[in-house]
Chain A
Amino acid sequence: MHSFGHRANAVATFAVTILAAMCFAASFSDNFNTPSPTASVKILNINWFQKEANGNDEVSMTLNISADLSSLFTWNTKQVFVFVAAEYETPHNALNQVSLWDGIIPAKEHAKFLIHTTNKYRFIDQGSNLKGKEFNLTMHWHIMPKTGKMFADKIVMTGYRLPEQYR
């Protein structure tokens, strides 16, 4: 009746159940956090802007990115992945999203930052539509939890425009 096998089985089942319940509770508690992050991105300079040999426009820019994402962190947050993407529409494409810079914030202490950088990934259009193009810069973040559900959100910043001429 109460053999070693039965006892071991009962203990193991109970332990796994408790672990699963704790993981679920930790993930569920994330829902009660109402974050209030702030972000601003300035384009300091268009370093160069040209049409490549294959006909695609490419632009290099210097960005000033500042944000305070510390309110995103809860006890179940392992890290926050943050990136800035240029988003625009062209006659050919309904939506173009080009990631320009990204970073990993490992802890709440590093969640308030100001950096000065050229675009980390190449800003290349599919075609030649970037002259005088209006675009949005969007700061996205993806919260990677210690366990459970992943959350994501963004701040859209509008009113950026590329130069009328290549340089």
Chain B
Amino acid sequence: MGFVGDTVESIRSMQIRQVLTQIISLGMIVTSALIIWKGLIVFTGSESPVVVVLSGSMEPGFKRGDILFLHMSKDPIRTGEIVVFNVDGREIPIVHRVIKVHERQDTAEVDILTKGDNNFGDDRLLYAHGQLWLQRHHIMGRAVGYLPYVGWVTIIMTEKPFIKYLLIGALGLLVITSKD
């Protein structure tokens, strides 16, 4: 009997107890993934501890599809650091380098200007209309680690949802029909 035949046969022969076990093991996989992700959020202090680079604005350092590990500590932000920031009215966060910092004497408020290594000018054109500086609350984290290519998985899945559903379906079927 072929692979497909085996699969159909194993679905047909399932008992209620077996079904329950499968549901629980599926639930374990989903929840443990969630635990790891939420644990990372607590550990790094950043609301998204891992980001995928989507544009070429930091080339040749970071290319599209590379992933960055973020950390958000209380340490002050300094020039040269690569930060991930949100701009009001823009959905996707941006990963660029800090080129100017002005930190106040008493309040420790800070004005930050960023630029992509591969861009010609600074980021004021990307900021909200009339915004000259980023403040602390715009910053989601600073990049501390780097891994190439791995982010392509997410890029492909967001741009070709068909592949995502195919993958999820195949995995689900595999979990349900696995015999142990």
A-B CB contacts (within 8 Å), total count: 83
* A51 contacts partner chain B, Cβ-Cβ < 8 Å: no
Interface residues on B, range: 20 to 34
**Chain A 79-102, CB within 8 Å of chain B: the 1/0 string?**
101010100000111111111001
| Distance in angstroms between the alpha carbons of A104 and B61 in the assembled complex | 9
Instruction: Report A-chain residues with C-beta under 8 Å of the C-beta of B117.
Output: 81, 104
CB within 8 Å of A: which B14-35 residues: none
| Distance in angstroms between the alpha carbons of A23 and B122 in the assembled complex | 33
Q: Are B145 and A148 in contact (CB under 8 A)?
A: yes
Min CB distance, A21 to chain B, in Å?
A: 13
**Chain B 135-157, CB within 8 Å of chain A: the 1/0 string?**
00000000111111000000000
Task: Give the interface of A toward B (CB within 8 A).
Answer: 4-5, 23, 27, 78-79, 81, 83, 85, 91-99, 102, 104, 106, 121, 126, 140, 142, 144-150, 152
Instruction: Report B-chain residues with C-beta under 8 Å of the C-beta of A148.
Output: 145-147
Q: Which of B3, B61, B79, B82 contacts A97 (CB 8 A)?
A: B79
| Distance in angstroms between the alpha carbons of A147 and B63 in the assembled complex | 13
Known: A4-B3, A147-B146. A140 touches B80 (CB 8 A): yes
* B163 contacts partner chain A, Cβ-Cβ < 8 Å: no
Q: Can you list 28 A-B pairs, Cβ within 8 angstroms, ordered by A?
A: A5-B174, A23-B147, A78-B60, A81-B97, A83-B79, A83-B80, A91-B105, A93-B104, A94-B103, A94-B104, A95-B76, A97-B101, A99-B100, A102-B99, A104-B60, A104-B117, A121-B122, A126-B102, A142-B82, A147-B146, A147-B147, A148-B145, A148-B146, A148-B147, A149-B144, A150-B82, A150-B145, A152-B81
Known: A94-B105, A97-B79. A121 touches B146 (CB 8 A): no
